Amino acid sequence: MGLRQDKFAKQIQRDLAELMTLHRNEWLGGAFVTMSNVLVSPDLSYVKVYISLFNIQNRKDVLNHLNTMVDKEIRHEIARRIKNNVKKIPEIRFYEDDTLDYVTKMDELFEKIKSEGNSNPSEN
């Protein structure tokens, strides 16, 4: 990413974090959410926000609700904050960051391989 994209991504991340803190119960149902990454298109018109959802049974519901709220309220709130910095207010979409799930799965596989290796010692 270019310098302008990086600065814009950081600004969007700060603003979204503040808004999510203010509207945590309304937008997130009180769920604990962190933004792991914000990616911005080169023309600053599209923003992908990757979030990690912790201790939540209905992850897809929270994600769908956030994406619904983008069209109704989140984009409007962001527009109020950045309207003097950009010509066009970007489209924002939320995606689940599942890297922690992937890491956990890989750790379990390595442990399984390790335990199988200990139960069947190889001959030298």
| Region 83-104 average pLDDT | 86
Per-residue tokens: 7 = 């600065």
Structural domains in the chain, sorted by start: 3-119 (3.30.300.20)
pTM of this structure:
0.76
For 5-51, how does the pLDDT look when each residue is reduced to its tens digit (9 = 90+)?
Answer: 999 999 999 999 999 888 877 777 777 788 889 999 999 999 999 99
Percent of all residues in the chain with a pLDDT value above 90, rounded to a whole number = 36
CA pair distance 101, 97, nearest whole angstrom: 9
Residue 68: φ, ψ to 5°: -70, -40
